[in-house]
Amino acid sequence: MPARADRLHAIWVCAEIPFSGSRLFETGVERLLKECRDSVPIIVVFTKLDILRLHVEKKVERQLEERGEDLDDDEFDKIIDVKMDEAVHSLCVQPLCVLTASDSPKYPWVATSNGREPRFKKTIMELVDRALELTKLENIWIEMAIAQRSNAKTSIDASIRIGRKLYWRGLLSDIFIGLSTRKVLDLLHRDIINVWNMDDPEGHLKKPEFLALLSVLVEDLSDEKTNHYPLTERAINAFIENPTSIMISGPTVVVMLFAEWVRGTYKKTKNSLRCMVAFIIDLTLTMDTLFYLVLSRGTGPMTIRLVNKALLIYKARKAPVHASIRAWADRWGTFSHLDSNMVINKIQELLQEYNVKPEQWMMKDEIADETWIAVDALR
């Protein structure tokens, strides 16, 4: 039997949407669709959906202008969406049904575009999902992920080397004393993120929103109370009593999102060290999760949706990680008995034990938006 990489997985039959009256399929493609039904996995891909939308929008705009009507953006988009469905059906789906002599399409199909608008990005994901459904590509993804595992492992090893060289030893020394906990997190966050070298042109992974959500992942290991945000309560009360007396800007809102254990300055205590160790591990394993999540979705820049999914996926598997950290911390004698090598070795041990194993990952998808998830979603 030929190697999996040399075997046929599926055929994508791509055809431009004939919005200008051109022919949908060439003769050879028509023959393929007629003769290969039920014998070859085929997905019909109707392309240039964005150009069809432009044509439909211009036509509707002319009609509205002739009638002297004016619509707001939402009403206009609703009309365009309906017209688009009708156009795709008449220009693409009906001819496909006629070609295969059936009342409904005999092949799965997707109308799509490489446009960067969210409406078109969704169609690309729909195409990927159809391919997975049609060919059961999970095993192929697993083999590809295993082949790429060395890249993820290299990034984890680099994180360990950089942490060992720069900051992790400082968790038990006095070099962080007097710094805000947020500042310490910023240092750890920056270096771990840089190691993974993700395609992140908009810098989502470096944003304080991501850092704040990571801090919430850790709070179950903190001695501080959860859901105790006096700054938030004061800000809300002040705003209700006198809306003009307070200005809430982006950075202010982000500060409110941070978990309670991040407030104040760094202290050499068991609680601080336990939380810092958990933060390093949670961030690294979230990046590990994100690496394979991006790999499973193909190429493309980082999005908030992908980061949200990685956080939710890791949150679902963090319980044994945190249980191990807590059990390790509970076995400490006095704080003075610890040395930096013990901390570094424990971090390394947990990263190696709980990093993603592609052959064991079920690729469970998580629903996520293109805006940052609420902190409660990670509790």
pLDDT at residue number 4: 44
Residue 134 pLDDT class (50, 70, 90 cuts):
low
pLDDT at residue number 13: 87
pLDDT at residue number 320: 96
The predicted model gives 267-279 an average pLDDT of 88
CA 170 to CA 33: how far, in whole Å? 65
- Host H or E run for residue 110: strand 109-111
Q: Where are the domains of the chain?
A: 4-135, 148-224+259-378
| 240 pLDDT above the threshold of 80 | no
pLDDT at residue number 341: 78
| 239 pLDDT above the threshold of 60 | no
pLDDT at residue number 76: 92
| 3 pLDDT above the threshold of 80 | no
Sheet containing 11-16, strands listed edge to edge, beginning at the edge strand earlier in sequence? 11-16, 42-47, 109-111
Q: What letters, b where the CB count within 10 A reaches 16 and e where it falls short, cover 277-296?
A: bbbbbbbbbbbbbbbbbbbb
CA 341 to CA 51: how far, in whole Å? 60
The predicted model gives 245-256 an average pLDDT of 39
CA 78 to CA 109: how far, in whole Å? 23
Q: Which residue has the tokens 């969406």?
A: 81
Going by C-alpha positions, the residue among 370, 366, 376, 371 that lies closest to residue 314 is: 366
pLDDT at residue number 119: 79
Please tell me the least confidently modeled range out of 199-208, 238-247, 349-358. 238-247
| 233 pLDDT above the threshold of 80 | no
Most confident of 34-38, 95-99, 268-272: 95-99
pLDDT in tens, 173-216: 777 878 888 988 998 898 889 888 888 999 999 998 999 999 99
The beta-strand segments (E) located in 116-262 are none
| 98 pLDDT above the threshold of 80 | yes
pLDDT in tens, 356-379: 877 666 555 566 677 888 888 888
**Contact (Cβ atoms closer than 8 angstroms) between residue 329 and residue 271:** no
Amino acid at 248: I
CA 173 to CA 171: how far, in whole Å? 6
Give bridge partners of residue 265 from the DSSP assignment.
180
pLDDT at residue number 63: 92
Please tell me the least confidently modeled range out of 35-44, 259-268, 349-358. 35-44
pTM equals 0.58
> Helix H segments across 298-354?
304-317, 319-330, 340-354
pLDDT at residue number 9: 58
pLDDT at residue number 149: 55
pLDDT in tens, 116-131: 677 777 787 777 767 7
pLDDT at residue number 294: 83
Q: Give the chain's mean pLDDT.
A: 78
Please tell me the least confidently modeled range out of 103-112, 232-241, 319-328. 232-241
| 7 pLDDT above the threshold of 60 | no
| 147 pLDDT above the threshold of 60 | no
Give the residue, 242 or 48, on which the prediction is more confident.
Answer: 48
Give the residue, 46 or 131, on which the prediction is more confident.
Answer: 46
The predicted model gives 93-107 an average pLDDT of 86
**Contact (Cβ atoms closer than 8 angstroms) between residue 87 and residue 23:** no
| 1 pLDDT above the threshold of 50 | no
